[in-house]
Structure 1
Amino acid sequence: MNSTTDHRAASGPNSFFSKDATLAPPGFSRWMVPPAALAVHLCIGQAYAFSVFNAPLTKVIGITQSAPDDWSLTTLGWIFSLAIVFLGLSAAFAGKWLEKVGPRRTMFTAACCFGGGFLVSALGVHLHQIALLYLGYGVIGGIGLGLGYVSPVSTLIRWFPDRRGMATGMAIMGFGGGAMIAAPASVALMNHFKSATSNGVAETFLVLGIVYFISMTIGALTIRIPRPDWKPEGWTPPVKTNKMITRNHVHIDQALKTPQFYLIWLVLFLNVTAGIGVLGQASVMIQESFKTSITAAAAAGFVGLLSLFNMGGRFVWASTSDWIGRKNTYFVFFALGCVLYLIVPQLAQAGNVALFVLSYCVILSMYGGGFSTVPAYLADMFGTAFVGGIHGRLLTAWAAAGVAGPVLVNYIRAYEVAHGVAKAEAYTMTLHIMAGLLVVGFICNLLVSRVHEKHHMTSSLAAE
């Protein structure tokens, strides 16, 4: 009995959550799949808005101001950090399981974890037990983030062999835009539930957990996978394919034995490191660079504008990669990004706010584009059979960049200021280092070549 038969016997061929049950019926429109993916990604994108809870969580006991027994911001900071760590770990280690059981079971598991994480966190706020917030949003919710992030990717790529970049861009754009919905909604809910005995955080967590579970479950129930012989109507695979796009498949474990995996890991790591540090300090950076002309309110608007470009870049750049190729798209990211990082300090010194803002908007669009283009890059290199799992393992680059980027920006700035450098000029060295990292990324991308045929699977193994 082969592995496919074993799996069917274990889950039952008629099981609603089995991979077989998600096979699309004849006539199913592939355009129904992106909304299913968005139903998940718009929810888990809430992670980027978790900071709206930080201040209220420091006043759970004091309500209007922090009491001696209330949590500190440093204590609360571990909640988000844990969530990102477990996002990366779950995405990396659940790859084989994802490919075995299919997107529906994985997306439903993500819904249970992400929604359930909020419910556990609500209990933690009610009992004032920080360990429950670490467990709820950090560990359980983080697992939901990772599974929810990678689960629709391979499905979308299989439905859109003719537009891989656009397909993944649509879904991953939702992750970038989820915070734009979650932030105002969370604030409105906390204000609604606020009373003399509660600042509304626990109740908001409860509502969000239920709403996100329902939305993500709808996505899980509506997702479908194409039949093995399916292809878009009127589309035939080109006879002469791009040498960087394979028609073969590489097993998830074998992918880790190729230099291409590690080169693309570095490509993603360096692109994200250069953007994520700036994203975290954008408000402070523009205020310190233009002390006399930029207010706190204007800086908040700048951050919102960056979020729009982060979100839009995920769709625009990934779609562009369908036309110019994935490798060429990353060449643009690294070359243009390097130039922009080098000229931004000069723009600040010249007092040119408009070009300063425009430069950062382009930088953040490429930061978002790096996330949405890489799944299609992996599919080009390793085929589609295990691309979801391979993508999950590659996301460890995101977790590493999430530490490296902010550390570079924060600690180098602190060192500069401590040694007498004016705050307005303290970011110059950091930005020049970022430009250097992008040069290294350019070289790594240049070294990416076609995967050697010795790593390819046989057709029978790929079918399983």
Structure 2
Amino acid sequence: MKKEKNRWLIALSAVAIHLSIGSAYAYSVYTNPINELAGWSATQITMAFTIAIVFLGLSAAVFGRFVENNGPGKSAILAAVLFSSGQIGAGVAVLIESLPLFWIMYGAVGGMGLGIGYIAPVSTLVKWFPDRRGLATGMAVFGFGAGALITSPVAAELISITGVSNTFFILGTFYFLLMILGASYIARPPQGWMPAGMKKASSPVKDRVKEDLAQLTANEAVKTKRFWLLWVMMFINISAGIMIISVASPMAQDMAGLSVAAAASMVGIMGIFNGAGRIGWAGISDYIGRPAVFSVFFIIQIIAFLILPFITHPVLFPLVIIVVMTCYGGGFASLPAFIGDMFGTKQLGAIHGYILTAWSMAGVMGPIAVSSLKEISGSYTPTFYLFTALLIIAFIVSLITARDVKKIRENNKQNSAA
């Protein structure tokens, strides 16, 4: 008999994979050096990141079934090959000053590695931690947020020492090795596996864990109303967060009078709380439920977006922004557990991939909305009001979702009792 794997080492393997692909959030560190070296505009350089986010969502949807059919290990290896190839290819593109190649390698190829690498470990952790779904996926997705914190100073230092292309080569190789290390251990639990605390007929852990609403395939899930309710909530939550992230520094300087250095510090702190929110809110969701935690996200953000246009204090403004960032990160971390609750773990990876198409659309919509409204009005205020309206819609959707979940749970109880 094979020795049973340690689920906490499985979680560590997932973190290793997410730390690597999470380095994409440190992309802005390359903008000025590439501009100085190749002469490409900031818009042209940023386009590669936009393409990467679009391909993240699309590949997560397309390769969700691949993850389910081939397991997390093979999927993580494929992600490692694609993501590291995108990094190394981006280095070659900068070296020969080919912008189309840069978009293809960093954006399309690297973006596919991002999407597969994102869903493969997370869907596996949900199965290893039926008693702590939120916390487990929160740890992995925290790795995604923390990847930028680690990569940003390292990449900046490497660029100053070895140049942009060599930095892509070095980090691309390192990411490959780290992701392969994670892929070598990560695996699904045996069929019917459950932790010791849930094996007893009645225990505090087992009593707290609720049965999944259903065990659906991806095709069955997308035909349900609750799938699209969840998709809308994620789209609005991600759009609001990415809108803030895309203009955080100039917004803080313009609205609260922060210096360039102070605004840069705020951006770094945002990354920390983005990651902290992933663990904190996901852990809380294990106790208050996923519908309730999403409702809390939207209440917090509605209040924040209504008051931000009137805040000019250089300390209070960043504090409110940081609170919004915890909700942004918490949404990503709570999502896989939410999917498991509503659709089961039968094809969780594929369903997760479909819902992450919301990330692709939000990655385009958020930045475009804020830049367009700022250009038209000369102010960030209209953007906050637009997103307040969207967040109110999201809050209403969260209440509808909670009602539907409760109704389905009651019907399941009646059917099992009959």
Give CA deviations for 1:208-249 in whole Å, capped at 9, x if unaligned.
111110000000001122111211012248879789752631
Match of 1:415 in 2: 376
SS in 1 for 2:36: coil
- Structure 1 residue 390 and structure 2 residue 390: aligned? no
Match of 1:117 in 2: 86
Contact 1:245 1:381 in 2 (8 A): no
1:269 is matched by which residue type in structure 2?
F
Match of 2:367 in 1: 406
Aligned equivalent of 2:189, options 226, 244, 255: 226
- CA shift at 1:82, angstroms? 1.3
Q: Structure 2 CA distance, aligned partners of 1:232 and 1:207?
A: 40
- CA shift at 1:27, angstroms? 4.0
> What does 1:6-155 align with in structure 2 at a 5 Å threshold?
25-60=2-37, 70-155=39-124
- CA shift at 1:95, angstroms? 1.0
> What does 1:271-286 align with in structure 2 at a 5 Å threshold?
271-286=237-252
Match of 2:386 in 1: 433
Computing the radius of gyration from Cα coordinates, the structure with the larger value is 1
2:388 is matched by which residue type in structure 1?
A
Q: Structure 1 CA distance, aligned partners of 2:300 and 2:285?
A: 16
- Structure 1 residue 312 and structure 2 residue 281: aligned? no
Q: Structure 1 CA distance, aligned partners of 2:238 and 2:90?
A: 29
Larger % of helix: which?
A: 2
TM-score, normalised by the number of residues in structure 1: 0.83
1:370 is matched by which residue type in structure 2?
G
Q: Structure 1 CA distance, aligned partners of 2:399 and 2:273?
A: 26
- CA shift at 1:72, angstroms? 2.3
Q: Structure 2 CA distance, aligned partners of 1:328 and 1:432?
A: 24
Q: Structure 2 CA distance, aligned partners of 1:253 and 1:323?
A: 30
Q: Structure 2 CA distance, aligned partners of 1:409 and 1:78?
A: 16
Q: Structure 2 CA distance, aligned partners of 1:404 and 1:126?
A: 32
2:300 is matched by which residue type in structure 1?
L
Contact 2:298 2:394 in 1 (8 A): yes
SS in 1 for 2:399: helix
Contact 2:256 2:311 in 1 (8 A): no
Q: Structure 2 CA distance, aligned partners of 1:237 and 1:192?
A: 58
Contact 2:339 2:348 in 1 (8 A): yes
1:52 is matched by which residue type in structure 2?
V
Contact 2:75 2:117 in 1 (8 A): yes
Give CA deviations for 1:372-411 in whole Å, capped at 9, x if unaligned.
1111111000001111110011001011111121122221
Task: List gaps (5 residues or longer) in structure 2.
Answer: 413-418
TM-score, normalised by the number of residues in structure 2: 0.92
CA RMSD, 1 decimal: 2.0
Range that drifts further, 279-288 or 312-321:
279-288
Give CA deviations for 1:64-112 in whole Å, capped at 9, x if unaligned.
xxxxxx3222222221111111111110111111100000000000000
Contact 2:213 2:342 in 1 (8 A): no
Match of 2:415 in 1: none
Range that drifts further, 79-88 or 213-222:
79-88
Match of 1:302 in 2: 266
Identity of aligned residues (%): 41
Q: Structure 2 CA distance, aligned partners of 1:262 and 1:242?
A: 27
Tell me: CA distance 1:416–1:33, structure 2 relative to 1, closer, same or farther (3 Å).
same
Contact 1:244 1:381 in 2 (8 A): no
Q: Structure 2 CA distance, aligned partners of 1:154 and 1:28?
A: 17
Q: Structure 2 CA distance, aligned partners of 1:403 and 1:373?
A: 22
Number of equivalent positions: 404
> What does 1:209-220 align with in structure 2 at a 5 Å threshold?
209-220=172-183
SS in 2 for 1:353: coil
Q: Structure 2 CA distance, aligned partners of 1:211 and 1:149?
A: 18
Contact 2:23 2:147 in 1 (8 A): yes
Range that drifts further, 95-104 or 443-452:
443-452
1:98 is matched by which residue type in structure 2?
V
- Structure 1 residue 165 and structure 2 residue 134: aligned? yes
> What does 1:229-378 align with in structure 2 at a 5 Å threshold?
229-236=192-199, 245-246=211-212, 248-291=214-257, 294-348=258-312, 352-378=313-339
2:16 is matched by which residue type in structure 1?
A
Contact 1:176 1:307 in 2 (8 A): yes
Q: Structure 1 CA distance, aligned partners of 2:370 and 2:34?
A: 26
Task: List gaps (5 residues or longer) in structure 1.
Answer: 1-23, 62-69, 194-199, 418-425, 457-464
Contact 1:314 1:368 in 2 (8 A): yes
2:392 is matched by which residue type in structure 1?
V
Give CA deviations for 1:262-313 in whole Å, capped at 9, x if unaligned.
000000011111121011111111111233xx21111111111111111110
Contact 1:270 1:401 in 2 (8 A): yes
Q: Structure 1 CA distance, aligned partners of 2:47 and 2:359?
A: 17
Give CA deviations for 1:146-178 in whole Å, capped at 9, x if unaligned.
000000011100110000000000000111111
Match of 1:178 in 2: 147
Q: Structure 1 CA distance, aligned partners of 2:200 and 2:370?
A: 46
- CA shift at 1:206, angstroms? 0.9
- CA shift at 1:183, angstroms? 1.0
